[in-house]
Amino acid sequence: MKMSISSRSALAGEEKQPMRLSQLLHKILVYVLLIGGAIIFLLPFLWMLTTSLKPAKEVFTFPPQFLPTTFEWHNYLDGWLALPFTTFLINTSIITIANVVGNLISCTLPAYAFARLQARGRNFMFVLMLATMMIPAEVTLVPTFLLFSKIGFVNTFWPLILPAWLGYPFSIFLLRQFFMGIPRELDDAARIEGATDLQILTRIILPLSKPALATVAIVAFVGNWNNLLAPLIYLRSNDKLTLALGLKLFDGQYITFFNQLMAVSILTILPIVVTFFFTQKYFIRGVTLTGADR
């Protein structure tokens, strides 16, 4: 009897060793693939970073040289002062902040109505709103431009700000799905205490929806900070241009200083990298928990 128990334990130990070995190989393979993919995605950014520190004569050397022989840190200051990028930064900040605030306000209210309020035709209106997501932006580009030009908003920030205060279907859908996962018993308890719908939204729903709100804010921030098409259409004078249009001005007719262009590009994307670095926890939670039971 003792021999049989010991033989069984020996066989179990032999079976565990191949399993542990296969799990270890699986983990190694996963990490190798992740590290390789990270290097592939980071390579263009690293090339842009090293190019921003190169002298102008080393940008197009052949064979390509990854690291510069001398680090030209003054490329950042020279590139920033070559054009009024401080003005461009202020303009971009005004437009981006106004869009983020507008998105949060204009998308939260209809999302709460679709998720928590009972009204006739609510589902039809929600499907109709989702249908607008299938319309390409290029289809409404010309009518929107004609509308803003008729009311004299061309070469102003209003065409870049007002649409955000009218709501975006994707953000409304994202918030609505998140709101639906919050227990309705909280609403009933608040109504028993005499709370209104606005009080329920501001005191119960919004505090519990920080991940979804952060996701909407991050998407709006990145989309407007990098926006090129709309400012290119509506803005005319140099004192109203954004950072994206300012980078386009680096393309000279005869020569382009790519080292300075890359330096200013690094400074331009730096706020996006910092913002995502500090808010990625809320962004990932907002995406993964949307529509899930919490």
Structure confidence at residue 20 (pLDDT):
77
Confidence of residue 286 (pLDDT cuts 50, 70, 90): low
Give the integer Cα–Cα distance in Å for 250 and 52. 14
Count of Cβ atoms closer than 10 Å to residue 138 Cβ: 8
For the chain, report the end-to-end CA distance as a whole number of angstroms: 52
Give the integer Cα–Cα distance in Å for 54 and 46. 13
Weakest-pLDDT range from 15-19, 91-95, 113-117 = 15-19
Q: Any idea what DSSP says for residue 254?
A: S
Count of Cβ atoms closer than 10 Å to residue 8 Cβ: 10
Weakest-pLDDT range from 23-27, 42-46, 88-92 = 23-27
Give the integer Cα–Cα distance in Å for 205 and 222. 25
Structure confidence at residue 288 (pLDDT):
57
**pLDDT higher at 138 or 159:** 159
Helix axes 210-225, 258-288, angle to 10 degrees: 160
User: What percentage of residues in the chain have a pLDDT greater than 90?
Assistant: 28
Alpha-carbon distances of 178 from 109, 116, 167, 288, rounded to whole Å: 13, 11, 17, 10
Give the integer Cα–Cα distance in Å for 169 and 132. 7
Structure confidence at residue 225 (pLDDT):
92
Structure confidence at residue 118 (pLDDT):
84
- 191, HSE (Cβ side, Cα atoms, 13 Å): 8
pLDDT at 48 over 80: yes
Weakest-pLDDT range from 112-126, 168-182, 270-284 = 270-284
pTM as predicted: 0.81
Residues 6 or more apart whose CB falls under 8 angstroms from that of 186 comprise 200, 204
pLDDT at 289 over 70: no
Structure confidence at residue 274 (pLDDT):
85
CB of 167 closer than 8 Å to CB of 130: no
